[in-house]
Amino acid sequence: MSELPVVIVGAGPIGLAAAAELRERGLRPLVIEKGSVAGSSVARWNHVRLFSQWSEVIAPAAQRLLQTTEWVTPEPESYPTGSDWSAEYLSPLAAALGDAVQFDTEVIGVARRGRDRLVDAGRDTEPLSIHVRSADGSEDRLLARAVIDASGTWSTPNPLGSEGLPAIGERSAAESLEYRVPDLADPQVRERYAGKHTVIAGAGHSALTAIVALASLAKDAPGTRITWALRRGGVGTTFGGGASDQLPARGTLGIRASQALEDGLLSVVTEFRTAAIESDASGTHVIVSDNGQRIEAVDRAVVLTGFRPDLSWLSEVRLDLDPTLQAPTEMAPLIDPNVHSCGTIYPHGFRELSQPEPNFFLAGMKSYGRAPNFLAMTGYEQVRSIAAHLAGDQESAGRVELILPETGVCGGAGVFDEPEDQPESDGGCCGAEPAEAIRILASNTAGQ
**Are 119 and 16 within one domain?**
yes
Q: Which domain holds residue 218?
A: 174-303
**Are 265 and 390 within one domain?**
no
Does position 48 have pLDDT exceeding 90, yes or no?
A: no
Could you tell me the pLDDT band of residue 412, with boundaries at 50, 70 and 90? very low
**Are 298 and 323 within one domain?**
no
* Residue 438 belongs to a domain: no
**Are 239 and 330 within one domain?**
no
**Are 240 and 313 within one domain?**
no
Could you tell me the pLDDT band of residue 431, with boundaries at 50, 70 and 90? very low
> Total structural domains in the chain?
2
Which CATH number goes with the domain that contains 236?
A: 3.50.50.60
State the pTM of this model: 0.86
* Residue 217 belongs to a domain: yes
Distance from C-alpha of 419 to C-alpha of 416, rounded to nearest angstrom: 10
Return the minimum-mean-pLDDT range out of 74-88, 192-206, 412-426. 412-426
Residue 241: its pLDDT value, please? 53
Where does residue 227 fall: left (phi above 0), alpha (psi -120 to 50 degrees), or beta otherwise? beta
Label residue 280 exposed, middle or buried (CB < 10 Å: 0-12, 13-18, 19+): exposed
Region 352-366 average pLDDT = 96
Distance from C-alpha of 147 to C-alpha of 5, rounded to nearest angstrom: 9
Residue 422: its pLDDT value, please? 34
Region 381-392 average pLDDT = 97
Q: Which of 272, 303, 334 represents a domain boundary (last residue)? A: 303
Residue pLDDT, tens place only, 138-173: 999 999 999 999 999 999 999 999 999 999 999 999
Considering the chain, what is the average pLDDT of its residues? 86
**Are 12 and 145 within one domain?**
yes
**Are 61 and 125 within one domain?**
yes
Does position 231 have pLDDT exceeding 80, yes or no?
A: yes
Q: Which of 263, 283, 303 represents a domain boundary (last residue)? A: 303
Query: 407 near 247, Cβ under 8 Å?
Result: yes
Residue 404: its pLDDT value, please? 64
Residue 251: its pLDDT value, please? 62
Instruction: Tell me how crowded residue 333 is: count the other CB atoms within 10 A of its CB.
Output: 14
**Are 275 and 182 within one domain?**
yes
Distance from C-alpha of 357 to C-alpha of 175, rounded to nearest angstrom: 40
* Residue 320 belongs to a domain: yes
